[in-house]
Structure 1
Amino acid sequence: MKPSRPELRALTGLRGMAAICVALGHFQQLYLTNAPFMWDNAVDLFFCLSGFTLSYVYRPEDIRFSHYLTARIARIYPLYFVTLVIVGGAIVWPLQIDSTTYPVGHALSDFLLQVLMLNSWPLIGSGVHWNSPAWSVSVEWFCYVLLFPLLLFQKAPRSTAIRLLCIVLLSATAYSLFVRHFDSNLFIPMLYEPKSQWSYWVDLFRGVFSFTAGWIVFSCYDRRDALYTFCTKSSALLWSSVVLLIALAYCDRINSQALMLLYPFVVLAATDQTSVASRLLGSRPLHFLGLISYSIYMTHYVLFIGVVAVFGLPATWKLSIYPLVAGICLAMFIGSYLVIERPARDAIRRPRCMHVIGAS
């Protein structure tokens, strides 16, 4: 087996920034709807990073799928399941089970689908997610189980121009589907039928297209092609473009989801560890945020609801409450990583590692 590749620290930091952006976006949507400062479309950056990272880590000539799936389950499932149970037991079952809006039979069906991480799979899942961010974990699971094994043994287009065209088309198609058919009401635990059946497919296509774009981005990185050269040398330009799109979104000039059009190029630019942006993303604070990014992502929704239950709505908070809440949130993010995520991940992977050592 070939030695593992070195960590690209900037990508870890980028994942941490994405997690914080999603958390702030959900906080705004829940409690500060008239005070925009962030959106949750950084989830699309997660998908692109996943496509790149898995392609970076796994090689077709030495992958063992049993090891691969064990590692994927260990990475996402324990904390996913814990937060699902907490939200179900503390919020959904006592507060939202109703014979007319959300019958027990539908709730049980949704629970089982979420346990199996199938809730975002069209024709199988209902699109309901008790822990709001969990929809993307279901989509990631689809990419892990079905999409990546196919991509791993495929060759990306040889031409740099074709690779660029594929990235643009994938991102633009995902953006178009989101703008036309995304329906946030599907997420709510209740009986609901969207206007368009395409709404059931938006989340899956959104993840599949961004994940595939990340796979193509890895090909550009691996070949060190002209697109890689442009992005790494134009890191400042790309990040300036991100800032410009955010400003335009604040002014309601564009849909904030347009940011996803830049994410593949931002990921490619971040692979150059020498740029100012990459050094900042790879710094210890942001790198640490990247390490706990999954805990941030999976626990923030539950945590925000708990914070409001204790302190009331943010509109009533004194200025001193904000740093206190920020400190509590950070402590809980770190705690869930140290107490739940990392120990459970290591416990699941350890028997497999011991088996490999014994066999060798």
Structure 2
Amino acid sequence: MNGAIELAAGYRKALNSLRGAAALYVVIYHLRYFSTFDWFTEFPVIRYGYLGVDFFFILSGSIISHVYLKQGVVGGKAFWFKFTWYRLARLFPVHFLIMVLMLLAFLFMQELEAKEPWVSQSSALDWLTLTLMIRQWFMPDGYVWNTPAWSISAEFFAYVVIFPIVVRLAKSNITILLGVFLATVGGLMLGYLYATFGTINVVSSSGPLIRVAGGFLIGCGLYCIIDNLKVECNWDFLLIISVAFTTTGLIFSPKLLNEGIKPDILLIISFVVVILSAYKSVGPISKFMSLPILFWFGEISFSLYLCHVPVMGLCRYIAEHLGIERGYFFGCCCVLLSILSAHILYRLVEIPSRQKMRMIHKHLQTRTLPC
């Protein structure tokens, strides 16, 4: 137990620190839109921050499978209602609150006739479909309003479309062969994006849905492999090696680009090894990654991911009107304010709403039980 939320049996706390690191990576990647400091030139490792989203997709597939796959194999309609309800409890409250605040901010700016509102404007239909987490299902040609929320829409697609397919395939048996098949299909999906567009960071048409399906399937396949993996290995050592390889690949990404190589797929492979080794490791590195401060950072990662663009947009708006330089220190302040906002959202919105919605589910469940 973590005081405020329930942890699934066998949950690997070390994975939470990876989730927090991925969220922070995306946040720093987005600084280029708000700060005048050239983050990409000074810190080339930031250039591939968009892959933090793909790390989330792979990790999500692994964790969802860890918690729900075996339940789904033996479960019926009651399971799918619980699964969907719990996923909504996880995603919707913070997302909905931020979308409402952004809409109110946009309307307020329009009332003031501001020339450059600090929210990315779009149509009411865009706002509605994004808020309901279905906008990406219509394969639009760009991101609107709270731009990171596209992945929430895509992730929800993975929950209600991709995961049921995985459960159906797993009904025969959860084997390494099934894991290899799922991971291969997911890898081919990402490979298709890379071969077609030269990157997996595709924002238009079916690209985002292919991207989330590929990453999620890799994660589901990874769990099936892990669940049946009997190989003894120094997983702590492999964790160190895989993290070092990932970091080195990011640092030397400019040289790879000069050679005409975009390291998207190589980094995705290294992400898989990082997740595998973090999942299996029980040594000192895993224990270090499970420290309360790192675990907390993973807990606020969802709120951090959703709130950082609105927070940094507001900071930019204020800085421009007050004549504050938007350099390096401005960017650092944006990150710190985003983390603070994420903590507040986590404590005041995420935890209470998740607990409330789970209580509602239990209440509905007891009312539907036969007398």
* 1:309 maps to amino acid: Y
Quick check: 2:19–2:56 contact (8 Å CA) kept in 1? yes
Q: In structure 1, how many angstroms separate the alpha carbons of the residues matched to 2:193 and 2:272?
A: 13
- CA RMSD between the two structures: 3.4
1:134 to 146, 149, 152: 149
After the TM superposition, which of the residue ranges 205-214 and 19-28 deviates more from structure 2? 19-28
Q: CA offsets per residue over residues 228-276 of structure 1, 9 Å max, x none?
A: 9587652222112101210122444443534223222221111023245
1:41 deviates by 1.6
Going from structure 1 to structure 2, the CA distance change for 1:180 and 1:299 (only over 3 Å counts) comes to closer
**Structure-1 residue corresponding to 2:206:** 201
Going from structure 1 to structure 2, the CA distance change for 1:326 and 1:142 (only over 3 Å counts) comes to closer
1:30 deviates by 3.3
1:246 to 247, 250, 262: 250
**Structure-2 residue corresponding to 1:150:** 165
Q: In structure 2, how many angstroms separate the alpha carbons of the residues matched to 1:260 and 1:142?
A: 21
- Is the aligned partner of 1:285 residue 2:308? no
Going from structure 1 to structure 2, the CA distance change for 1:146 and 1:334 (only over 3 Å counts) comes to same
After the TM superposition, which of the residue ranges 60-69 and 283-292 deviates more from structure 2? 60-69
After the TM superposition, which of the residue ranges 26-35 and 56-65 deviates more from structure 2? 26-35
Quick check: 2:37–2:328 contact (8 Å CA) kept in 1? no
**Structure-2 residue corresponding to 1:84:** 99
**Structure-1 residue corresponding to 2:51:** 41
* 1:112 maps to amino acid: L
Going from structure 1 to structure 2, the CA distance change for 1:281 and 1:4 (only over 3 Å counts) comes to closer
Quick check: 1:10–1:281 contact (8 Å CA) kept in 2? yes
Which structure 2 residue ranges, 5 or more long, are not aligned?
1-6, 114-121
1:297 deviates by 0.6
1:114 deviates by 1.2
Q: CA offsets per residue over residues 194-247 of structure 1, 9 Å max, x none?
A: xxxxx3111110100000000000011100155x95876522221121012101
1:170 deviates by 4.5
Identity, % of aligned positions:
22
Which structure 1 residue ranges, 5 or more long, are not aligned?
98-105, 185-198
2:241 to 229, 237, 240: 237
Going from structure 1 to structure 2, the CA distance change for 1:154 and 1:231 (only over 3 Å counts) comes to farther
* 2:168 maps to amino acid: F
* 2:93 maps to amino acid: P
Q: In structure 2, how many angstroms separate the alpha carbons of the residues matched to 1:271 and 1:70?
A: 26
After the TM superposition, which of the residue ranges 70-79 and 162-171 deviates more from structure 2? 162-171
What is the number of residues matched between the two proteins? 335
- Is the aligned partner of 1:222 residue 2:227? yes
**Structure-2 residue corresponding to 1:192:** none
1:11 deviates by 1.1
Secondary structure of 2:64's match? helix
1:328 deviates by 3.2
- Is the aligned partner of 1:10 residue 2:25? no
Going from structure 1 to structure 2, the CA distance change for 1:336 and 1:315 (only over 3 Å counts) comes to same
* 1:68 maps to amino acid: F
Quick check: 1:171–1:213 contact (8 Å CA) kept in 2? no
Q: In structure 1, how many angstroms separate the alpha carbons of the residues matched to 2:351 and 2:222?
A: 29
Aligned pairs for 1:16-27 within 5 A: 16-27=20-31
2:74 to 41, 61, 66: 61
**Structure-2 residue corresponding to 1:301:** 309
Going from structure 1 to structure 2, the CA distance change for 1:118 and 1:230 (only over 3 Å counts) comes to farther
Q: In structure 2, how many angstroms separate the alpha carbons of the residues matched to 1:318 and 1:165?
A: 42
Secondary structure of 2:145's match? coil
* 1:255 maps to amino acid: K
**Structure-2 residue corresponding to 1:195:** none
1:315 deviates by 4.6
Quick check: 2:193–2:202 contact (8 Å CA) kept in 1? no
1:62 deviates by 3.7
Going from structure 1 to structure 2, the CA distance change for 1:90 and 1:107 (only over 3 Å counts) comes to same
